[in-house]
Chain A
Protein backbone atom coordinates (compact mmCIF):
# COMPACT_ATOMS: atom_id res chain seq x y z
CA UNK A 1 0.00 0.00 0.00
CA UNK A 2 1.08 3.55 -0.62
CA UNK A 3 2.40 5.26 2.49
CA UNK A 4 0.43 8.22 3.82
CA UNK A 5 1.58 11.17 5.91
CA UNK A 6 -0.74 13.16 8.18
CA UNK A 7 -0.14 15.85 10.79
CA UNK A 8 -0.34 14.38 14.31
CA UNK A 9 -2.86 16.87 15.60
CA UNK A 10 -5.15 19.74 14.60
CA UNK A 11 -7.59 22.05 16.34
CA UNK A 12 -10.79 23.53 14.99
CA UNK A 13 -13.45 25.85 16.38
CA UNK A 14 -16.97 24.49 16.63
CA UNK A 15 -19.07 25.45 13.62
CA UNK A 16 -16.07 26.12 11.42
CA UNK A 17 -14.77 23.90 8.64
CA UNK A 18 -12.10 21.36 9.53
CA UNK A 19 -9.62 20.64 6.73
CA UNK A 20 -7.49 17.54 7.32
CA UNK A 21 -4.59 17.01 4.89
CA UNK A 22 -3.01 13.76 3.77
CA UNK A 23 0.03 13.20 1.56
CA UNK A 24 0.23 10.02 -0.52
CA UNK A 25 2.89 10.79 -3.09
CA UNK A 26 3.51 7.12 -4.00
CA UNK A 27 -0.13 6.33 -4.80
CA UNK A 28 -0.63 4.18 -7.88
CA UNK A 29 -3.29 4.55 -10.52
CA UNK A 30 -5.70 1.94 -9.21
CA UNK A 31 -5.54 2.91 -5.55
CA UNK A 32 -8.36 4.66 -3.76
CA UNK A 33 -8.04 7.13 -0.90
CA UNK A 34 -10.09 6.18 2.17
CA UNK A 35 -10.78 8.15 5.30
CA UNK A 36 -11.81 6.69 8.64
CA UNK A 37 -12.21 8.18 12.06
CA UNK A 38 -12.01 6.68 15.51
CA UNK A 39 -13.77 8.20 18.45
CA UNK A 40 -12.24 7.24 21.77
CA UNK A 41 -12.77 3.58 22.71
CA UNK A 42 -14.80 2.78 19.60
CA UNK A 43 -13.99 0.96 16.37
CA UNK A 44 -12.92 3.09 13.38
CA UNK A 45 -15.80 4.41 11.31
CA UNK A 46 -15.77 4.78 7.52
CA UNK A 47 -16.19 8.37 6.34
CA UNK A 48 -15.60 8.61 2.60
CA UNK A 49 -13.42 7.37 -0.24
CA UNK A 50 -12.46 8.45 -3.75
CA UNK A 51 -10.26 7.66 -6.74
CA UNK A 52 -9.79 10.80 -8.84
CA UNK A 53 -12.81 13.03 -8.53
CA UNK A 54 -13.86 15.00 -5.51
CA UNK A 55 -16.49 13.26 -3.45
CA UNK A 56 -19.14 14.44 -1.02
CA UNK A 57 -21.51 12.62 1.28
CA UNK A 58 -23.55 13.48 4.34
CA UNK A 59 -20.49 13.38 6.58
CA UNK A 60 -17.72 15.09 4.65
CA UNK A 61 -16.11 16.12 1.39
CA UNK A 62 -12.94 14.66 -0.09
CA UNK A 63 -10.77 16.80 -2.31
CA UNK A 64 -8.07 14.93 -4.28
CA UNK A 65 -5.42 16.90 -6.14
CA UNK A 66 -5.12 16.45 -9.89
CA UNK A 67 -1.84 14.54 -9.54
CA UNK A 68 -3.45 12.46 -6.77
CA UNK A 69 -0.44 12.89 -4.52
CA UNK A 70 -2.43 14.48 -1.73
CA UNK A 71 -5.98 14.89 -0.51
CA UNK A 72 -7.98 16.87 2.02
CA UNK A 73 -10.91 15.73 4.10
CA UNK A 74 -13.31 18.56 4.83
CA UNK A 75 -15.84 18.55 7.66
CA UNK A 76 -17.89 21.60 6.65
CA UNK A 77 -19.32 22.52 10.06
CA UNK A 78 -17.36 20.76 12.78
CA UNK A 79 -19.14 19.84 16.01
CA UNK A 80 -17.77 18.68 19.35
CA UNK A 81 -18.75 15.12 18.38
CA UNK A 82 -16.29 15.26 15.47
CA UNK A 83 -13.39 15.17 17.94
CA UNK A 84 -11.59 11.96 16.97
CA UNK A 85 -8.50 10.48 15.34
CA UNK A 86 -8.78 10.63 11.55
CA UNK A 87 -6.97 8.07 9.41
CA UNK A 88 -6.12 8.43 5.72
CA UNK A 89 -5.45 5.12 3.95
CA UNK A 90 -4.68 4.27 0.35
CA UNK A 91 -5.82 0.93 -1.08
CA UNK A 92 -6.83 -0.76 -4.29
CA UNK A 93 -8.14 -4.10 -5.48
CA UNK A 94 -4.62 -5.37 -6.10
CA UNK A 95 -3.13 -3.90 -2.95
CA UNK A 96 -3.03 -7.22 -1.22
CA UNK A 97 -4.96 -8.10 1.87
CA UNK A 98 -2.94 -6.35 4.56
CA UNK A 99 -4.18 -3.02 5.82
CA UNK A 100 -1.84 -0.78 7.70
CA UNK A 101 -3.04 2.18 9.72
CA UNK A 102 -0.71 5.06 10.38
CA UNK A 103 -0.93 7.27 13.45
CA UNK A 104 -3.64 9.48 12.00
CA UNK A 105 -4.54 13.05 12.95
CA UNK A 106 -6.08 13.84 16.34
CA UNK A 107 -8.71 16.47 15.57
CA UNK A 108 -9.95 18.42 18.56
CA UNK A 109 -13.03 20.58 18.06
CA UNK A 110 -13.16 23.37 20.62
CA UNK A 111 -16.32 25.14 21.82
Chain B
Protein backbone atom coordinates (compact mmCIF):
# COMPACT_ATOMS: atom_id res chain seq x y z
CA UNK B 1 0.00 0.00 0.00
CA UNK B 2 1.09 3.62 -0.43
CA UNK B 3 3.21 5.23 2.22
CA UNK B 4 6.61 5.95 3.64
CA UNK B 5 9.14 3.30 4.57
CA UNK B 6 11.88 4.12 7.03
CA UNK B 7 14.62 1.66 7.70
CA UNK B 8 16.01 0.34 9.88
CA UNK B 9 13.58 0.68 12.79
CA UNK B 10 16.41 0.50 15.32
CA UNK B 11 20.02 1.46 14.67
CA UNK B 12 23.07 1.35 16.89
CA UNK B 13 26.19 3.34 16.08
CA UNK B 14 29.58 3.59 17.63
CA UNK B 15 30.89 7.02 18.42
CA UNK B 16 32.78 8.54 15.51
CA UNK B 17 30.93 6.58 12.84
CA UNK B 18 28.73 7.97 10.12
CA UNK B 19 25.36 6.27 9.62
CA UNK B 20 22.68 6.65 6.95
CA UNK B 21 18.94 6.42 7.62
CA UNK B 22 16.73 5.43 4.72
CA UNK B 23 13.42 7.04 3.73
CA UNK B 24 11.49 5.81 0.70
CA UNK B 25 8.03 6.94 -0.43
CA UNK B 26 5.59 5.81 -3.13
CA UNK B 27 3.11 8.65 -2.66
CA UNK B 28 4.50 10.68 -5.57
CA UNK B 29 4.97 13.65 -3.24
CA UNK B 30 7.54 16.29 -4.15
CA UNK B 31 8.35 17.58 -0.68
CA UNK B 32 10.14 15.44 1.90
CA UNK B 33 11.32 16.21 5.43
CA UNK B 34 13.54 14.88 8.20
CA UNK B 35 12.71 15.55 11.85
CA UNK B 36 14.45 14.69 15.06
CA UNK B 37 12.59 14.00 18.28
CA UNK B 38 14.19 13.71 21.71
CA UNK B 39 12.38 12.08 24.67
CA UNK B 40 9.45 14.20 25.85
CA UNK B 41 10.12 16.83 23.20
CA UNK B 42 8.44 18.01 20.03
CA UNK B 43 9.67 17.52 16.47
CA UNK B 44 12.59 19.60 15.22
CA UNK B 45 13.27 20.07 11.51
CA UNK B 46 16.68 18.88 10.26
CA UNK B 47 16.47 19.15 6.47
CA UNK B 48 13.79 19.36 3.85
CA UNK B 49 13.56 19.01 0.10
CA UNK B 50 10.90 20.52 -2.11
CA UNK B 51 12.05 18.89 -5.33
CA UNK B 52 14.62 16.46 -6.69
CA UNK B 53 18.23 17.69 -6.53
CA UNK B 54 17.33 20.48 -4.12
CA UNK B 55 17.24 20.64 -0.33
CA UNK B 56 17.40 23.23 2.45
CA UNK B 57 18.66 23.26 6.01
CA UNK B 58 16.13 23.19 8.79
CA UNK B 59 16.59 24.38 12.34
CA UNK B 60 19.16 21.81 13.47
CA UNK B 61 21.11 20.79 10.33
CA UNK B 62 24.60 20.80 11.88
CA UNK B 63 26.13 17.33 11.86
CA UNK B 64 23.67 15.98 9.29
CA UNK B 65 23.68 15.68 5.50
CA UNK B 66 21.07 14.65 2.94
CA UNK B 67 20.69 13.95 -0.77
CA UNK B 68 17.70 13.94 -3.09
CA UNK B 69 18.71 12.16 -6.28
CA UNK B 70 15.31 10.53 -6.79
CA UNK B 71 11.81 11.70 -6.01
CA UNK B 72 11.15 8.55 -4.01
CA UNK B 73 14.20 8.70 -1.77
CA UNK B 74 15.57 11.16 0.81
CA UNK B 75 18.34 9.52 2.87
CA UNK B 76 19.73 11.22 5.97
CA UNK B 77 23.36 10.76 7.04
CA UNK B 78 24.22 11.36 10.66
CA UNK B 79 27.89 12.28 10.66
CA UNK B 80 30.49 12.06 13.40
CA UNK B 81 30.18 15.84 13.73
CA UNK B 82 26.74 15.42 15.33
CA UNK B 83 27.57 15.60 19.03
CA UNK B 84 24.41 14.06 20.41
CA UNK B 85 22.87 11.84 17.73
CA UNK B 86 20.84 9.51 19.97
CA UNK B 87 17.23 10.32 19.09
CA UNK B 88 14.09 9.24 17.23
CA UNK B 89 14.24 10.28 13.55
CA UNK B 90 11.10 10.80 11.48
CA UNK B 91 10.75 11.21 7.73
CA UNK B 92 7.67 12.88 6.23
CA UNK B 93 6.24 13.90 2.88
CA UNK B 94 3.83 16.68 2.03
CA UNK B 95 0.92 16.40 -0.34
CA UNK B 96 0.05 19.01 -2.92
CA UNK B 97 -3.58 18.24 -3.64
CA UNK B 98 -5.87 21.23 -3.64
CA UNK B 99 -7.45 21.44 -0.21
CA UNK B 100 -5.05 18.98 1.37
CA UNK B 101 -1.48 20.03 2.03
CA UNK B 102 -1.08 17.71 4.93
CA UNK B 103 1.80 15.50 5.87
CA UNK B 104 2.39 11.76 5.96
CA UNK B 105 4.96 10.38 8.36
CA UNK B 106 7.01 7.23 8.41
CA UNK B 107 7.21 5.00 11.46
CA UNK B 108 10.61 6.35 12.47
CA UNK B 109 14.14 5.13 13.14
CA UNK B 110 15.48 5.07 16.68
CA UNK B 111 19.22 5.74 16.64
CA UNK B 112 21.35 4.94 19.66
CA UNK B 113 25.05 5.74 19.99
CA UNK B 114 26.91 3.12 21.98
Contact = CB atoms under 8 A, between A and B. Distances in A.
Interface string A93-111: 1010111111110000000
Contacts, number: 59
B108 A43 contact: yes
Interface residues of B, number: 30
Nearest to A91: B101
Contact of B101 (A32, A36, A87, A98): A32
A99 B103 CA distance: 9
Nearest to B4: A43
Contacts of A49: 100, 102
Interface in B45-85: 45, 48, 50, 56, 58
B105 A99 contact: no
A97 B45 contact: no
A95 B103 CA distance: 13
A41 interface: yes
Interface string A7-33: 000000000000000000000000010
B96 to A, nearest CB: 8
19 contacts: A34-B102, A36-B103, A41-B108, A41-B110, A43-B90, A43-B105, A44-B92, A45-B105, A46-B102, A87-B42, A92-B101, A93-B96, A93-B98, A97-B31, A97-B94, A99-B45, A99-B92, A99-B103, A103-B41
Interface of B: 4, 6, 31, 33, 35, 41-43, 45, 48, 50, 56, 58, 88, 90, 92, 94, 96, 98-108, 110
